[in-house]
């Protein structure tokens, strides 16, 4: 098998949770491949594997994936890892998943907190009239053959079946990779549906009846405790990212009116030009972060408050309710009232 090229165009100092790497190492042992030797080749300290909350540079982990796929000769190594990885390997996020009320809540947790696993990982929920989809991307490139993304989608699907206590069928699975017919059959056998290949993005979807089915193991108290642990840990690692500092300032000033780039720059003690340059270096933009802050606050207020929808729109800086409705359709695939109703159905 020819050694695949390594992508190195990642953002500043991105990192990946050590226990995620430990799960990959365990999968490699099943192939009779010594993960310690591969980690040494990638200049990775094996001693960090069992250090709570330790992290590895993303460049090293992507190199490890390349070497792992080369030595196992399995382009779908990520699928195998997704079959085997245990929920506690995902820090408090995995434990929160086990306590979630339904698949909709589980996918929401992944979308909000996936950065706990990798600071370059981005997950988003997309909704339409038929159901919800979890879309996964990685910033600054990707590991070879999208292996980590496939591992995550395979893991989410396995947890969905496990927590539902019966096999469930996705409405679709789409991957951006190209495979052989044999590999395509492996994917179809695992997910139980034909997998769309060479897609625009890696994603998995479920209809609403599946996402809203209650999990027997739901535990709101345990979920809340683990979310607190997640936020505390993310706070530690995100303080190193300039984009997160900008986002926090936007969130703080949003209730006072639409934040302006110049005002945020003054609060952070930098010039507007420096702010824009630093954000660009992290592949972010001020307008994109403003949109993210609005979306997150809209989702929180619509799902967890009784404020009138018009007032929520005003709080987010939308003087015209129709503009808020258009933004909601772009963010969530539905109107503000539909999202609020959906959250009420989930709660019951």
All residues at 6 or more sequence positions from 118 whose CB lies less than 8 Å from its CB, including other chains: 14, 15, 16, 17, 20, 58, 138, 148
Q: What's residue 108's pLDDT?
A: 96
Q: E strand or H helix at 121, and its extent?
A: strand 121-127
Q: CB–CB of 213/201 below 8 Å? A: no
What CATH code is carried by the domain that includes residue 251? 1.10.10.60
Residue 154's domain spans which residues?
15-211
The last residue of a domain, from among 193, 211, 229: 211
The answer to whether residues 206 and 248 belong to one domain is: no
Look at residue 67 and tell me if it is in a domain.
Answer: yes
The answer to whether residues 58 and 183 belong to one domain is: yes
Look at residue 308 and tell me if it is in a domain.
Answer: yes
* pLDDT by position in tens, the chain (length 348): 433 333 333 333 578 999 999 999 999 999 999 999 999 999 898 988 988 788 888 889 999 999 999 999 999 999 999 999 999 889 999 999 999 999 999 999 999 999 899 988 899 999 999 999 999 998 777 888 999 999 999 999 999 999 999 999 999 999 999 999 999 999 999 999 999 999 999 999 999 999 999 999 999 999 999 999 999 988 777 665 788 778 878 887 887 778 899 989 888 778 999 999 989 887 889 999 999 889 988 988 898 888 999 999 988 988 889 999 999 999 999 999 999 988 777 655
The answer to whether residues 181 and 262 belong to one domain is: no
The answer to whether residues 95 and 138 belong to one domain is: yes
CA distances from 89 to 39, 86, 229 (A): 18, 6, 14
The answer to whether residues 289 and 158 belong to one domain is: no
All residues at 6 or more sequence positions from 143 whose CB lies less than 8 Å from its CB, including other chains: 7, 61, 62, 65, 66, 78, 149
The answer to whether residues 45 and 139 belong to one domain is: yes
What CATH code is carried by the domain that includes residue 95? 3.90.1520.10
Domain count within the chain? 2
Secondary structure (3-state) at 285: coil
Phi, psi (degrees; rounded to nearest 5) at 125: -100, 135
The answer to whether residues 205 and 253 belong to one domain is: no
Look at residue 234 and tell me if it is in a domain.
Answer: no
Please provide the DSSP assignment of 229-259 as one string: HHHHHHHHHHTT-HHHHHHHHHHHHGGGSS-
The answer to whether residues 74 and 125 belong to one domain is: yes
The answer to whether residues 141 and 60 belong to one domain is: yes
Look at residue 226 and tell me if it is in a domain.
Answer: no
Look at residue 201 and tell me if it is in a domain.
Answer: yes
Look at residue 306 and tell me if it is in a domain.
Answer: yes
């Amino acid at each position: 098998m020819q050694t695949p090229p390594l992508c190195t165009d990642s953002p500043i100092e991105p990192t990946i949770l050590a226990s995620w790497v430990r799960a990959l190492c365990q999968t490699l042992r099943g192939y009779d491949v010594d993960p310690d030797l591969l980690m040494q080749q990638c200049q990775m300290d094996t001693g960090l594997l069992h250090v709570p909350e330790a992290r590895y540079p993303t460049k090293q982990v992507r190199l490890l994936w390349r070497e792992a796929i080369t030595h196992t000769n399995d382009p779908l190594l990520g699928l195998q890892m997704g079959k085997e990885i245990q929920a506690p390997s995902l820090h408090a996020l995995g434990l929160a998943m086990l306590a979630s009320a339904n698949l909709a809540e589980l996918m929401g947790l992944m979308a909000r907190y996936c950065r706990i696993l990798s600071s370059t990982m981005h997950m988003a929920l997309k909704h339409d009239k038929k159901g919800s989809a979890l879309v996964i991307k990685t910033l600054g490139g990707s590991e070879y053959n999208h292996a980590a993304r496939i591992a995550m989608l395979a893991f989410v699907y396995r947890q969905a079946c496990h927590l539902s206590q019966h096999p469930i069928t996705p409405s679709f699975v789409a991957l951006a990779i190209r495979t052989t017919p044999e590999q395509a059959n492996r994917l179809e056998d695992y997910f139980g549906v034909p997998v769309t290949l060479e897609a625009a993005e890696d994603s998995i979807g479920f209809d609403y009846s599946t996402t809203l089915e209650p999990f027997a193991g739901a535990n709101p108290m345990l979920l809340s405790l683990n979310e607190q642990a997640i936020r505390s840990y993310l706070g530690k690692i995100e303080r190193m990212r300039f984009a997160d500092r900008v986002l926090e300032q936007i969130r703080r000033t949003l209730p006072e009116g639409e934040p302006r780039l110049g005002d945020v720059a003054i609060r952070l003690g930098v010039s507007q030009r420096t702010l824009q340059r630093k954000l660009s270096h992290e592949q972010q933009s001020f307008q994109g972060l403003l949109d993210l802050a609005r979306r997150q606050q809209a989702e929180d207020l619509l799902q967890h408050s009784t404020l009138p929808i018009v007032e929520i729109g005003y709080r987010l800086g939308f003087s015209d309710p129709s503009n808020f409705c258009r933004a909601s359709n772009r963010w969530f695939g539905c109107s503000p009232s539909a999202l609020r109703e959906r959250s009420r159905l989930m709660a019951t």
